[in-house]
A = this chain, B = another copy of it.
Amino acid sequence: MPQAATDKYQQQRAQAIRSAAAVFAEKGFHGASTKDIAERIGIKQGSLYYYFKSKEEALGEVCLYGIEDYVHRMASIAATNQPFEAKLLATVTSHLSSYRERNEALKVHNDERLYLPEGKRQKLHELGSRYRKSLQGIFQEGVANGDLRDSIDCHFAAQAVIGICNAWGDIIVREPDLDIFDVTQKCVDLLLNGFCERRRNSRQDRRG
């Protein structure tokens, strides 16, 4: 019954995780049955328990798989010495690329992780927080360097970037022809410059 920590086992398990990601993404955690997952892998329902001790463990692995490298990439971007704009560009590109590569697992992470037991949910939350804080740090740096108006709320800014990236991540998945770099450029342009004409006419009203 117990398994080995052999290489082949780990590889097949990794494949099982990706299959589970696809099924969970399509049907949701509770809507997907272990039979569905097993079929996608190409084994019988009972055999699934050779790789996971429960359906819930499979969910945990999928969620982790969804965000791990995406969090790591964020950390290394934040650690570089690039100027603010380059970091922001790299962040958005990285976020959108992750969406294209691991969209199923990411979707599962975003939508289903709350069904995990407290402990695992907490661990994922910490990873997410690390991501948000790195991003927030990039903005704080930008303010300190004078690249950004010092009136901006860095917490808000980070959250806004994540929101835009998620919204466009979904679209990128739906429309495989979209070029990630094009989308990135538009995102960064919005974030830096806004949509406004260089403000001259048309808004002397509020704001002193």
- Cβ contacts under 8 Å, A193 to chain B: 149, 193-194, 196, 199
- Cβ contacts under 8 Å, A115 to chain B: 28, 31
**Interface size band for A:** 35 or more
Task: Indicate whether A30 reaches chain B with its CB closer than 8 angstroms.
Answer: yes
- Cβ contacts under 8 Å, A156 to chain B: 168, 183, 186, 190
Q: Which A99-152 residues have C-beta < 8 A from chain B? A: 111-112, 115, 139, 142, 145-149, 152
Q: Which A168-191 residues have C-beta < 8 A from chain B? A: 168, 171, 183, 186-187, 190-191
Residue of B nearest to A171 (CB): B159
Residue of B nearest to A155 (CB): B171
Q: Is the CB of B202 within 8 A of A83?
A: yes
- Contacting A194 at CB < 8 Å: which of B166, B167, B190? B190
- Cβ contacts under 8 Å, A186 to chain B: 153, 156
Q: In whole angstroms, what is the CA distance A193 to B165 when docked? A: 19
Residue of B nearest to A199 (CB): B193
Residue of B nearest to A194 (CB): B194
24 A-B contact pairs sorted by A residue (CB < 8 Å): A28-B28, A28-B30, A28-B115, A29-B30, A29-B31, A30-B30, A111-B111, A146-B202, A147-B196, A147-B197, A148-B197, A149-B196, A152-B190, A156-B183, A159-B168, A160-B164, A163-B168, A191-B194, A191-B195, A192-B194, A192-B195, A192-B203, A193-B193, A193-B194
